[in-house]
Amino acid sequence: MKFELNETLRGASDEELLEDLCQSAKSIGRDTITRAEYEQIGRGHPCTIHRRFGSWTNALKRAGLQPSRSKIGITDEELFDNLKSLWISLGRQPSYSEVKAPNSRFSSGTYENRFGSWSKARRSFIEWVNSGAEDKADGLEPAPTEIAPANQVGPIKRRTRREISDRQRFRVLVRDGFRCTACGASPLTLPGTELHVDHISPWSEGGETTDDNLKCRCAQCNLGKGNAFSA
């Protein structure tokens, strides 16, 4: 039996990733390729492509390919955004039977057709959410150095922007169980509860917009909190 090493593109250059994207599309005789198709025939992984270029659509554009849309014109990003909205509205992971109108724009069958199975669709969704962990994937480049407050020596050097991206907000909500970390309020037990995601160490005092410096709090607990928990 002959053993061979399966080559990956994790540490490849942008040019190598884009070239493999083009070759993979060419191998199926098309001017575009979906995430699911690339996962089957590409040398790399869709999540690597997504992380490197910010989105699947951006990667295709950089490679000179057409946007990857299904026969009914739905992008992967649209499917993921829909699943994220449904997850937030339920306050938990939706089941197969819950992915339908009127709460969902697309049916569970649409996800199966695109990704091969409901399980693979969920796995691709989680990879998509986590691919924004550094916020560059959401178009948030590091902020410029700011002038420090009067009581602080030297400028504040920023690694992230103040704005919390949609994907980052979703990650924090899931991590905190869709519950206020101050009082425990949750839309699951108290319908109408509005949840916010805010900085723990205030942005005005040098706190960064990273997952570990963000907490889930309800609107009531945010009222009158002042700079102690300021976003």
Per-residue model confidence as pLDDT tens for the chain (231 residues): 444 444 567 678 899 999 999 999 899 888 888 887 888 888 888 888 888 888 888 889 999 998 776 555 788 888 999 999 999 888 889 999 999 888 898 888 889 888 889 999 999 999 888 875 544 434 444 444 444 444 555 556 777 888 898 889 999 999 999 999 999 999 888 888 889 999 999 888 888 999 999 999 999 887 755 444 444
Q: What is the reported pLDDT for 224?
A: 53
**Considering just the CA atoms, what is the radius of gyration of the chain in Å?**
21
| Stated pTM of the model | 0.58
pLDDT at 228: 41
Q: What's residue 151's pLDDT?
A: 52
- Do 122 and 42 touch, CB atoms closer than 8 A? no
* DSSP annotation of 43: S
User: Residue 90: exposed, middle, or buried by beta-carbon count in 10 A (0-12, 13-18, 19+)?
Assistant: middle
Q: What is the spatial distance between Cα 218 and Cα 125, in angstroms, rounded to a whole number? A: 26
The Cα-based distances of 171 to 2, 178, 204 in angstroms read: 43, 10, 23
The CA-based diameter of the chain, rounded to the nearest angstrom, is 71
Q: Which amino acid is at 7?
A: E
pLDDT of residue 70: 57
Can you give the length of the chain in residues? 231
pLDDT at 53: 87
Helical residues (DSSP H) of the chain, grouped into ranges = 14-27, 35-41, 46-53, 56-62, 76-90, 108-115, 118-130, 166-175, 219-222
Query: In the structure encoding, which two tokens stand for residue 164, read together?
Result: 């919390």
